[in-house]
Each structure stands twice: as structure tokens, then as C-alpha cells.
Chain A
Amino acid sequence: MPQAQSTQTPMTQQAGTVVRVRLFAALRERAGWGERLIRLDAGTATPVALWRQLALEVSPNSHATDLPPSIRVAINQAFATADTPLRPGDEVAFLPPITGG
């Protein structure tokens, strides 16, 4: 799994909120990365806003930037709603449809 990119701003810097973003399965392969530290844009302190910032469109033909209903969100390894406020250091995961068992 790719490590957090060194090009991202380090967490020690003062301004802004930095979160760890994780992607899995088809979503990870489409994006080309599985884990990154991301500095949130101003006003981007929710998973749904983070999704727009990362431009993780599911369909290459779609210009829609909203989080698709099929993608679930986990914050610090527990399911959460896409409008949950994010705090510095949170681990945010975008989960494609689950196929376990």
C-alpha cells in the first residue's frame, strides 16, 4: 500500500486541518493511491467536501463531484455520515460497496 506522500504539507504546520485519507479496492486502484495525508481546503472539513477536493469521481464520464450513495465513509475506522465534521489527525476512509462473507 502506498505510503503518505512526502509532498503533502507536514502535520506539524499550523494552519489548516490535515487528515489521513484511505481508499480501498476498486476506489484505491482507480485513484492510484491508497493512503495520503491531505490538508483540507478552507471550508472542507467534512468527508463529502473532502471527496470534492480530491476529485475522486467514480465514473470517468461523469462531471458530478458529489459523493455517490454507493460509497460509504468511515472516520477513525467507524462508519460515519458524509457531513460529519473532521478534526485534525482523523483517519477518513472512502469505502466502495462491501462484498464480504
Chain B
Amino acid sequence: MPTRHPERPIVIKLLEAPFEPLELLAAWQRSLGAAGTAAESHFIGRVRGSTASGAPLEALELEHYPGMSEAQLRTIAEACAAHHGAGAVLVAHRVGRIAPGEAIVLVAVQADRRGPAQRCLQELLEDLKHHAPFWKREWSGGSGTWVAGNTPL
């Protein structure tokens, strides 16, 4: 079982305002400096322009459990990094009201090789969708509907 590089940090950010994922990613890479590794995988998720039923989406609302959401994201990131032998991990997640096209999640994983980087990223995304206390509500036509489940992979 590979072990995580202990010198490489897990960074969790919950953001209440819109963010530019590429700027956040660049700042994170700069913060790691010479600790950067050979492989890095990234995922950016953005809000769709339509609801689950196909209606135009006005906004997506993200409710969370303050305190537990950060703690759970950190637990998930640490477990995935340890499982795959990955290094530094960044997870940034929006909360509150989010407009279509805005970024909702950014995940970045560093590792020594592409395999661990990509596998860690994929497992982290799936765990995050099912085990971090976030709830989506779609706003359309002036009314809000809680989303019943996650979209298919």
C-alpha cells in the first residue's frame, strides 16, 4: 500500500464568492514551489445551464454543513491521497448561490506518475459527491427544487 508524501499538503477551500479556477490553480502551484511533482491531474466542474428536467437554470444553490463539510473534504482527500500514493491535493468547492457557467468545484492532485494522480482525482471526486455534506437546489422559473441524486459518471 503506497503511503502519502507527508511533506505535501492537503488544501481545502470553501468559497462563498465566484472564483477563477485557473487563477486558484496557479496560486496553489506557486505555493508548492519546488515541491511540484512530475504529474498533476485537474478537474473543474461548472454549473450547467439547464435543470435535471431540462428547464433553463437561473442559479444553483449549494447548502452545506459548515464545519463538517470542510472536515469531511479533508478526510476524503487524505484517504484518497494515501490510498493512491499521491502528494499534494487541492479541493476548492463553492457554496451559496452559483450562476450557470461558474465553477463549482476544482480538484488538483500531484503525484510522481500519471496513474496515481488520475486515480486519486477520480476516487476523490466520486467520494466528494457522495460523502461530503453538500446539497444542491436548482432555481428555475422563480422556484427552487432540491436535487434528488447525483448525475451519472
Contact = CB atoms under 8 A, between A and B. Distances in A.
Interface string A20-56: 0010111000000000000000000000000000000
Interface residues of B, number: 27
Contacts of A95: 65, 133
B51 to A, nearest CB: 13
Interface string B137-153: 10000000011111000
Given A100-B93, A101-B134, A74 B68 contact: yes
Nearest to B147: A99
Given A77-B68, A93-B68, A95-B65, A100 B148 contact: no
- Interface-centre pick from B62, B65, B133 (highest chain A CB count, 10 A): B133
Contact of B134 (A22, A77, A93, A100): A100
- Interface-centre pick from A24, A25, A78, A101 (highest chain B CB count, 10 A): A101
B65 A22 contact: yes
B4 interface: no
Contact of A99 (B45, B65, B71, B136): B136
Contact of A101 (B68, B146, B148, B150): B150
Q: How large is the interface on A (under 10, 10 to 19, 20 to 34, 35 or more residues)?
A: 10 to 19
A82 to B, nearest CB: 16
Contacts of B10: none
B89 to A, nearest CB: 15
B11 interface: no
A97 interface: yes
Contacts of A96: 135, 146
A98 interface: yes
A25 B125 contact: no
Interface of B: 45, 62-65, 67-68, 71, 93, 104-105, 125, 128-137, 146-150
Closest 10 CB pairs of A and B: A100-B134, A25-B135, A77-B68, A101-B129, A26-B146, A99-B136, A99-B147, A100-B132, A77-B67, A101-B128
